[in-house]
Amino acid sequence: MSSTEETIVALATPPGRSALGVVRLSGPGCREISRLLLGTELEPRRATARRLRRGEVIVDRVVATYWAGPVTPTGEDLLELAAHGSPEILREIVSAAIEAGARAAAPGEFTRRAYVNGRLDLAQARAVGDLIAARGAAARSAALRRLEGGLSDALDEVRAPILELLAALEVRLDHPEEDIAPLAPSEADASLRDASAGIERLLAGYARGRSRREGARVGLFGSPNAGKSSLLNALLGRPRAIVSSMPGTTRDVLEEQAELGGAVVTLVDTAGLREDAEGGAEREGVARAEGALESCEVAVLVVDSARAPDELDDRTRDYIAAAAKRRGAALIVAHNKSDLPGARAEHGVSCSALTGHGLDALEAAIAAAAGGAAADEGECLLDDARQSAALARALAELAAARAELAARPGAWEDRAADRLRRALALLNEARGDGAAEAVLDEIFSKFCIGK
């Protein structure tokens, strides 16, 4: 679909009224089209203010910049027209460009051309989409790191020992007459271990990467009236959930996305847990809260710190703590209502949904548990299911190669080389080299037009 013979055009800024709007063109026709629309030759890389015409009609006064390919973001000639941000003007400019020989770009086509022309690899191209879609500072910086090639570099690092080992094997297999000394199995094993460890590190970052993008689920649990809904509202900064002094107010599970301490999370408010829940709706609410506990990465146990816990509170606390432990979820205890006289806080965070006291600390504790902590800033992240599946299969191939080595130390080269070739192909697949057209279509169709 993306014949690079064609010049494409699209609005690069969001539709609607704004101070400026940018129309972007990429392809071999940029120079000619700029001459037709602006009546002049543009000097490359120099922003020039000109009147833009559609036929005889002046559409707007624009700032036009032309870049000559191939050292441009798309790898082709590129033309950017910054106009006044009126939808009518911008539509006119796109129409004028089409009349002058461009065609409307498909979603993601600019980025796709960058990929086809070797300006970005597929991991980077995906990162462009992620960067634009990213909510929260952590997701943004992870996407930016991938755009800068962090993941590609990490994959190169993993590939290096495999390539080296394969080359050493192949020269021996292809030239048996040369009488080269056989490879020491222990050395080969060390290379394989190296590469495997690198892949394992990338895979370990996957779960965290995904929760960064989609947001970890953070559930608020506890006894009725502890202030779960009040805390949800306080963390969101708006009255999303109904709050009342009646225990058993919240009946359903309520979910809202929020950005806490740089991490995107999905906050989940639940019904207060109690065994003697009255009536169908409240019992159903308790059942749903228990269900929500099964899907959260972080459980916040909210307790009313101004009230001495009774036996039911203790059982609720134990139940939540046990469920969190069983699932490997982080547990944070929020001692709410710290503003009330007699409020006590043992281990955990002391806070008040009412006054806002301690909410910063609670946010920070949630963000750290949700994996958005600044501690792992430098880590390269893998957050795509397809890439992680390819890496997992590559890891299995390396394990199989090591098994060959262990099983037949005298005659392992041939079969191990086969495994290594497959592992390399899978690593290339993770990187997106030679991705099938259908895969590209799927990836780029998720982009908006103009990207």
Ligand X SMILES: Nc1nc2c(ncn2[C@@H]2O[C@H](COP(=O)(O)OP(=O)(O)OP(=O)(O)O)[C@@H](O)[C@H]2O)c(=O)[nH]1
**Which one among 28, 85, 247, 309 touches ligand X, defined by CB under 6 A?**
247
Contacts of residue 368, Cβ cutoff 8 Å, sequence gap at least 6: 261, 375
Number of neighbours of residue 307 by Cβ within 10 angstroms? 16
Does 272 bind ligand X (CB under 6 A)? Our answer is yes
Does 348 bind ligand X (CB under 6 A)? Our answer is no
Binding mask 386-425 for ligand X (x = CB under 6 A): ----------------------------------------
* Cα angle for residues 321, 326, 331 (degrees, 5° grid): 40
CA–CA gap between residue 132 and residue 124 (Å, rounded): 13
Contact 273, 289 (CB under 8 A): yes
For the four alpha carbons of 312, 314, 317 and 320, in that order, the dihedral sign comes to: negative
Binding mask 354-383 for ligand X (x = CB under 6 A): x-----------------------------
Of 300 and 424, which CB lies nearer to ligand X in the complex structure? 300
Does 229 bind ligand X (CB under 6 A)? Our answer is yes
In the complex, minimum distance from the CB of residue 372 to ligand X, in angstroms, rounded to a whole number: 25
Does 335 bind ligand X (CB under 6 A)? Our answer is no
Does 243 bind ligand X (CB under 6 A)? Our answer is yes
Does 227 bind ligand X (CB under 6 A)? Our answer is yes
For the four alpha carbons of 270, 272, 274 and 280, in that order, the dihedral sign comes to: negative
Residue nearest to ligand X (CB): 272
The entry of ligand X, Mg ion, none near residue 124 (CB within 5 to 8 angstroms by kind) is none
Residues 214-253 that bind Mg ion (CB under 5 A): 228-229, 249-250
In the complex, minimum distance from the CB of residue 349 to ligand X, in angstroms, rounded to a whole number: 12
Residues 146-175 that bind ligand X (CB under 6 A): none
The entry of Mg ion, ligand X, none near residue 165 (CB within 5 to 8 angstroms by kind) is none
CA dihedral of residues 278, 342, 236, 211 (deg, nearest 10): -80
How large is the C-alpha radius of gyration of the chain?
29
The entry of ligand X, Mg ion, none near residue 20 (CB within 5 to 8 angstroms by kind) is none
In the complex, minimum distance from the CB of residue 367 to ligand X, in angstroms, rounded to a whole number: 21
In the complex, minimum distance from the CB of residue 288 to ligand X, in angstroms, rounded to a whole number: 12
**Which one among 230, 266, 350, 387 touches ligand X, defined by CB under 6 A?**
230
Which residues are at the interface with Mg ion (CB under 5 A)?
A: 228-229, 249-250
Which residues are at the interface with ligand X (CB under 6 A)?
A: 224-230, 243-245, 247-250, 271-272, 336-337, 339-340, 352-354
